[in-house]
Amino acid sequence: MLDKNLKSFPKDFLWGASTSAYQVEGANLSYGKGPSCQDVKELPEGTASLDICADHYHRYEEDIALMAEMGFKTYRFSIAWTRLLPEGTDKINQEGIDHYNKVIDTCLKYHIEPLVTMFHFDMPDALDQRGSWSNRESVDWFVNFAKVMFENFGDRVKYWLTINEQNMLTLVGPLIGTLRIPEGTTNILKETYQQNHHMLLAQAKAMVMLHEMYPESKIGPAPNISLVYPASCKPEDQLAAQEYNAIRNWFYLDMAVYGVYNNLVWRYLEEHDATPDILEGDMDIMKAAHPDFIGFNYYSTATVQASASTDDVNPGADQQTARGEAGYYKGYDNPNLVKTEFGWEIDPLGFRATMREMYSRYRLPMIVTENGLGAYDTLTEDGKVHDDYRIAYLKAHIEQLKLAVSDGVEMMGYCPWSAIDLVSTHEGIRKRYGFIYVDTTDEKTGTLNRYRKDSFYWYKKVIETNGEDLD
């Protein structure tokens, strides 16, 4: 395409950034909060514990003031389930309610719209002990949690996200310590997709409940979407890419938007005797749910080639590492893309391609809920962080975002990961993403002082000009 007639970002475009509770708050077992799966899991060697993180719990006012200085229109954050319900159900922790009321009110004071993630990788440990998402009662647990949130915050929170990266919980959850597989499970694939089914039911019921309680509020899913390329023009590689696109991406959105199981994934599950048990009325519940928008996390594309049934492939990795499924597809390093210091491919054009494909399939407004560059940042003696590499990464992606808008894709906003430095899922705080540097390391807690990175000032200019000035 020539891209001669470019459109501007909408005047009400929601510029902001994202965090999650367990990665940024700290105070993980304080002020009445109960333990989540994140608090009891064995952390990777050499990574920071979660008892302090960026200490956002105590410093949210300072942090949100810095976000306001950048000009944020929205702040995406999650609510820790066990800060509201320490045991996952029943008794409410009023201190937790009070805390998030203050966070929300602080956002609104600065005219920042709260964009709240309901579940971000932090199942209550007490519910894990009762079977977690394996237990069909988990649907009711989540709906109860949602009701507590809506009742206490729904008068001021207008935008909600249901489950962060549900597809990653299903595909790599056991590896990143966020999905519990019961002991003695013989068919792990069936177990994970049964848990996924319960998550889908919980999500659908939460959507319906919000619309009943607050008809003007908006809610949507938040999967991690990476368009999958075929490694070559071989027809068998094209089929492999279709398989992985269905398994990785469309399965979750087909269900969230249309309330139907993707046909390719269903056949894949049938081949492995792994179809979930679906009770009477389940599909009606999911078809009754209608998301108002789609939130999605994007970091890179994926590339696959055909795989023989005898291939030795890696079925599990992290969110963006090449995967494989014998007989279906196997990961392929795209020679046309460079990688970050942490091995994730960088593909801004793939960002545009992903948005195009999503919009053509679902025709719903979309908001980017994560996109960013994890890197080893260095704080200079004079308190500066020169992260030109992050600026270059974000600039390239925002350029493609604008082109997607010009393509007619309905985009609501852009919330890169992350607002401030925080503890990455399995790579510690050394893998920094934020616009704001937090003085702490994986080895020891520092001053926790905040420092504006070069990207802070750059992003402020981007927001001030509504994405027109990216230099």
For residue 250, the Cα-to-chain-centroid distance in whole angstroms is 16
pLDDT tops 60 at residue 319 = no
Q: How confident is the model at residue 320 (pLDDT cuts 50, 70, 90)?
A: low
Q: What's the domain range around 131?
A: 14-464
Type of residue at 177: G
100 C-beta neighbours (distance < 10 Å), count: 22
Q: Residue 2 domain-assigned?
A: no
- Are residues 227 and 250 in contact, defined by beta-carbon separation less than 8 angstroms? no
Q: Decide if 165 is catalytic.
A: yes
- Tell me the pairing of strands 411-414 and 14-18: parallel
The string of pLDDT tens digits covering residues 90-134 is: 999 999 999 999 999 999 999 999 999 999 999 999 999 999 999
Q: Name the domain count of the chain.
A: 1
Q: How confident is the model at residue 454 (pLDDT cuts 50, 70, 90)?
A: very high
Structural tokens at position 394: 């974000």
Three-class DSSP category at 37? helix
Q: pLDDT at position 445, please?
A: 93
- Are residues 122 and 80 in contact, defined by beta-carbon separation less than 8 angstroms? yes
d(CA 379, CA 387): 10
pTM of the model: 0.95
Q: pLDDT at position 217, please?
A: 98
Tokens 């985009």, located at residue: 411
- Are residues 355 and 422 in contact, defined by beta-carbon separation less than 8 angstroms? no
Q: List Cβ neighbours of 125 (8 Å cut-off, separation of 6 or more).
A: 34, 35, 36, 37, 39, 40, 82
Type of residue at 286: M
Q: Residue 276 domain-assigned?
A: yes
Q: How confident is the model at residue 344 (pLDDT cuts 50, 70, 90)?
A: confident
Structural tokens at position 467: 């994405």
Q: pLDDT at position 1, please?
A: 57
Alpha carbon distances (Å) from 157 to 151, 185, 415: 11, 40, 17
Q: pLDDT at position 311, please?
A: 83
Q: Residue 36 domain-assigned?
A: yes
295 C-beta neighbours (distance < 10 Å), count: 29
Q: Which of 25, 165, 191, 345 is catalytic?
A: 165
Q: Residue 471 domain-assigned?
A: no
Q: Residue 378 domain-assigned?
A: yes
Cis peptide before 309 (omega within 30 of 0): no
281 vs 177: which has the higher pLDDT: 281
pLDDT tops 70 at residue 278 = yes
Q: Residue 121 domain-assigned?
A: yes
d(CA 418, CA 374): 9
Q: pLDDT at position 45, please?
A: 84
Beta-ladder partners of 368: 296, 414
pLDDT tops 60 at residue 281 = yes
The string of pLDDT tens digits covering residues 219-269 is: 999 999 999 999 999 999 999 999 999 999 999 999 999 999 999 999 999
- Give, in degrees to the nearest 5, the angle at Cα 151 between 148 and 157: 105
Q: Decide if 151 is catalytic.
A: no
Q: pLDDT at position 315, please?
A: 61
Three-class DSSP category at 162? strand
Taking all residues of the chain, what is their mean pLDDT, rounded to a whole number?
94
pLDDT tops 60 at residue 316 = no
What CATH number is attached to the domain comprising 210? 3.20.20.80
Q: pLDDT at position 177, please?
A: 64
Q: Which of 25, 191, 325, 370 is catalytic?
A: 370
pLDDT tops 70 at residue 450 = yes
Q: pLDDT at position 414, please?
A: 98
In percent, the amount of the chain with pLDDT more than 90 equals 86
Three-class DSSP category at 183? coil
Q: Residue 86 domain-assigned?
A: yes
The string of pLDDT tens digits covering residues 377-426 is: 999 999 999 999 999 999 999 999 999 999 999 999 999 999 999 998 77
- Are residues 409 and 25 in contact, defined by beta-carbon separation less than 8 angstroms? no
The string of pLDDT tens digits covering residues 52-86 is: 999 999 999 999 999 999 999 999 999 999 999 99
In percent, the amount of the chain with pLDDT more than 70 equals 96
Q: pLDDT at position 2, please?
A: 59
**What number of CA atoms fall less than 13 Å from residue 329's CA on the CB side?**
28
Q: pLDDT at position 173, please?
A: 78
Q: Residue 6 domain-assigned?
A: no
